[in-house]
Structure 1
Amino acid sequence: MNTPEFPNDLAQIRDIMRQFVSERDWDQFHTPKNLATALSVEASELLEPFQWLVSGDASELDEAKLTAIRHEMADVLVYLVRLADKLDVDLFQAVQEKMVLNRAKYPADKVRGDSRKYSEYKDKDR
């Protein structure tokens, strides 16, 4: 298997997860489908501390909610890095590629201050 090139911090997370999974003989369960499912579940769990808050900004979050958010963010990142590792995806390169596409869909001079989806303004004058 090719090893994707990760920036140092992501490579460290990848290596920590590889060791953790190996120690538990869990690689057999870490199929791309299962990892994508787990990632989705963890991303949903990230919403829970924000439920019923007006905006979710820092002034509305006590220490317990901030801790819960931090832990759920870690879970999301861990599963994303693990999925990238299993599929030989270079996340840094993927972000660079995606930003090229995003810049084309959302030219700054046309969408600044506008939160609509690109398809909602694409054929309309601003």
Structure 2
Amino acid sequence: GEDSEAILSINQYSVSLEGGYMVAVDGDISPELAEEGLAREVVHRIQGMRRSANFDVTDRIVTYYQGPSEFADVMQGAFADYIRDETLSTQLVDGSPDKEAATESTKIEGMEITLAVHQV
């Protein structure tokens, strides 16, 4: 007969039935995984801002950020070194940027944030 597929969610599990087999996948992500995803998104945004500002790929920058405390926690947390290394940021500064900085306000994971980059 035909293979049927039924997908449903039970609590955080996504369940699908295929070819007589049932598979349940845990859709809940850990706080660490969520933080890593946010850090990767921030790196992506900052790299885009570097390109828009025509910085050379070797230029060191200072990155400024503003946002809710959960966002600040990510910028200062376990992935701070990753963010600094990937974006060539000498510093990640919590606060308003100087006037020369290229600034972008955006929404990431439902949080209103502002990022700014300035060449060192």
TM-score range, shorter chain: under 0.3
Compare relative contact order (CA 8 Å, sep 6+) and give the higher one, 1 or 2: 1
Structure with a larger share of its residues in helix: 1
Structure with a larger share of its residues in strand: 2
